[in-house]
Structure 1
Amino acid sequence: MEPFVLEKADNGCELLALAPFTRAYPQLSAGFTTRLGGVSRGDFSSLNCGLHVADEPGDVVRNRRLLAEALEFPFDACTYAEQVHGNEIQVVTKAWRGAGNDSREKALQAKDGFVTNERGVYLHALFADCVPLYFYDPIRQAVGLAHAGWKGTALQIAKALLETMSAAYGTKPRDVRAAIGPSIGACCYEVDDTVIGRIDRALREADEEATVQPADVLCYEQQPNGKYKLNLQQVNRQIMIKAGILPSHIEITGLCTSCHTDLFFSHRKEGGRTGRMAAWIGLREA
């Protein structure tokens, strides 16, 4: 069953709730925006949440405010970063609450993963084909969010985030609930030997350090033209399992951002001129 369920807020935002998380843990909010229900125009129509694309900044901030309103979050609790396709993780405390919500200059700099155990701090990351990764430790009440393009995936950002949660909060991977959100699927994602070489190396390195070996799963398939169809969602799932998350604790979407440009922005499908969706996760204040 698809874990991301479409809901329409009273203000018109159309959002995908991470239903297995939010139904089991009412204190948790997690999900993914669509491109629908905002004020942006043209190529960025309409719920573009990315300030780093060529959209009007005022429209983007208005969209982010609409998102916060739809989720019943204070806007000054919504925290954003400048992502760089790396694997650096930021521990977010209340001192960072609201960073980057209306300005790139005030965002968390050069970070692609974020963790917090502070209630009322809502983590946001931006996507237009890359893979959103969600983490929740219900024992220690900590959450994490990561942005995993092929570079972040090759750098095992999922493993880096788990290690940060362990160091910061004492998280044990077997306790973690994880989810893999809407992104470009193997159906639409063709890559070359360089990318596959990096992915193979990451999977081998994960194997060497793994305490659990998942069943063999096809993560890519060579095409007649010599290139490969790559399933980044499945690669990240394999890395999560090798890092100690139980397979039964991982939700994975069936939604491809490139196949569904009526619902999502897709950098590859739309030739690079497009908006960004936001993934979010956070623990509500009592």
Structure 2
Amino acid sequence: MEPFVVQPTLQPTEDLPVLLPIAPWMLSFPEITAGFSSRLGGVSQAPFSTLNLGLHVNDNDLDVIHNRERVAAALGQSFTSFTYAEQVHGKDIAIVTLDEQGMGRESRATALQAKDGFITKEKGIVLCAQFADCVPLYFYDPVQRVVGLAHAGWKGTVLNISMATISLMTHTFGSQPSDIYAAIGPSIGACCYEVDATVATRVWLAFEEAQIPQEEQEAIITDKGNGKYMLNLQQLNRKLIEQAGILSSHIEVTQLCTSCRTDLFFSHRKEGGSTGRMIAWIGLR
């Protein structure tokens, strides 16, 4: 069953953004908020119509901030809690304290710089990462009450940002991987994600480093010929998360492809690079 479900009470109206919470987590873990935004229900104009949440895509900044405020209001969270980073397709993870709460929500200059993931144990902080095809990775340890969020494009994936996030949760807050739950959110799927030999080579190195068996590799990357391959980033991240010690029964994986569903999501690849951004969010209430 698809874990990311459109909230039935939220329709693309003037005031209500369409959001997709992680439904199984909302039932099991009412102490957190977590999910993914859509492209619907904001004020941005084309080609960012309408719920663009990225300040770095040459949209009108005031429209983006208004959209971000709408998301906060729809979630019943204070806008001052929403915390952003400047993402660089790396694997550096920030430990977010109350001192960093709200950074980047209205300005790129005030965002956490050069970070592609966060963890926090503080209540009231909402971690936000931006996406338009890359893979959002969510983490929650209900024992230690720690949340984490990571941005995994192909570069972050082969750098094993999932392992970096889980390791920081373990070393900083005492989380045990077997206690952690993970979710993999809407992103470009294997149906649409064609890569070249340069990317494929990096993926094969990641397979080797993670000791992923050959038969499982074949389900993740498929040779199309002429130096082109179809890559399943969602499943590659799932395997890396499992290799880090998270139980397979604790992992939720979306079936939603951002490239297939441009009616619902922005897609950098499908829309030729001129488009908006969704956010993944997670926080302790």
Name the TM-score, length of structure 2 as normaliser.
0.96
Q: Equivalents in 2 of 1:203, 1:161: separation in Å? A: 19
Match of 1:207, as an amino acid?
A: Q
> Does residue 106 of the first structure (1) align with residue 107 of the second (2)?
no
- Within a 5 Å distance, the mapping from 1:89-100 to structure 2 comes to 89-100=93-104
Q: Equivalents in 2 of 1:141, 1:61: separation in Å? A: 29
> Does residue 37 of the first structure (1) align with residue 38 of the second (2)?
no
Q: CA contact under 8 A between 1:214 and 1:238: conserved in structure 2?
A: no
C-alpha deviations, 1:41-61, integer Å up to 9, x for none? 110000000000010000000
Match of 2:236, as an amino acid?
A: V
Q: Equivalents in 1 of 2:58, 2:190: separation in Å? A: 28
Counterpart of 2:243? 242
Structure 1 stretches of 4+ with a deviation exceeding 6 A read none
Q: CA contact under 8 A between 1:100 and 1:108: conserved in structure 2?
A: yes
Counterpart of 1:133? 137
Q: Equivalents in 2 of 1:151, 1:216: separation in Å? A: 20
Displacement, 1:91?
Answer: 0.3
- Root-mean-square deviation (CA, aligned residues, Å) is 1.4
Match of 1:226, as an amino acid?
A: G
> Does residue 230 of the first structure (1) align with residue 231 of the second (2)?
yes
Q: Secondary structure at the match of 1:123?
A: strand
Match of 1:129, as an amino acid?
A: D
- Within a 5 Å distance, the mapping from 1:98-177 to structure 2 comes to 98-177=102-181
What 5-or-longer segments of structure 1 have no aligned partner? Answer: none
Q: Equivalents in 2 of 1:92, 1:86: separation in Å? A: 17
Q: Equivalents in 1 of 2:261, 2:4: separation in Å? A: 14
Q: Secondary structure at the match of 2:99?
A: helix
C-alpha deviations, 1:180-203, integer Å up to 9, x for none? 000000100000111011111112
Counterpart of 2:2? 2
Match of 1:237, as an amino acid?
A: R
- Within a 5 Å distance, the mapping from 1:22-61 to structure 2 comes to 22-61=26-65
C-alpha deviations, 1:243-280, integer Å up to 9, x for none? 10001100000000000000000000000000000000
Counterpart of 1:67? 71
Displacement, 1:6?
Answer: 0.3
- Within a 5 Å distance, the mapping from 1:253-264 to structure 2 comes to 253-264=254-265
Q: CA contact under 8 A between 1:206 and 1:243: conserved in structure 2?
A: no
Q: Secondary structure at the match of 2:210?
A: helix
Match of 1:105, as an amino acid?
A: A
Q: Identity of paired residues, percent?
A: 58
Match of 1:45, as an amino acid?
A: S
Displacement, 1:206?
Answer: 1.6
Q: How many residues align?
A: 280
Q: CA contact under 8 A between 1:144 and 1:281: conserved in structure 2?
A: yes
Q: Secondary structure at the match of 1:5?
A: coil
Determine which of 180, 183, 191 is the counterpart of 1:179: 183
